[in-house]
Amino acid sequence: MSAKTSPMHLTTRGRRAVRLLRTALCALAIIGGTLFFSAQTFTAEAVAGDEVVGVAADAVVVGEGESLWTVASNLGLDRDTRDVVADIVELNHLSSPVVHPGQSLDVPQR
């Protein structure tokens, strides 16, 4: 004896639930993508003495074999690389100029 299988049929309520779930997932993906891309550029606060200074900043992830000097020189800013390194250290409140692959850094905006 073989059991004959029939295709599954959704009720009206089931179709509505599937449609609602699909809409919610699409909305979540759109909102998540928007938040991800909007978080890439922001304003960081640097502390200069007792004064807080707003600085336009971007987020950069340190690659394998990169140093803080490499990150600063790859930004393409028209400034001395030593000054850019000092700004990155200050923006990220680093106690030393040592960085690790995968580390996210706030850097002065290009």
Higher pLDDT, 35 or 91: 91
- Tokens linked to 41: 């550029």
If residue 14 lies in a helix (H) or strand (E), which one and from where to where?
A: helix 12-38
pTM above 0.85, yes or no: no
| pLDDT classification of 36: cutoffs 50, 70, 90 | confident
C-beta neighbour count of 86 within 10 angstroms: 14
Q: Count H helices, E strands: the chain?
A: 3, 3
Torsion of CA 55, 59, 65, 67, to 10 degrees: 10
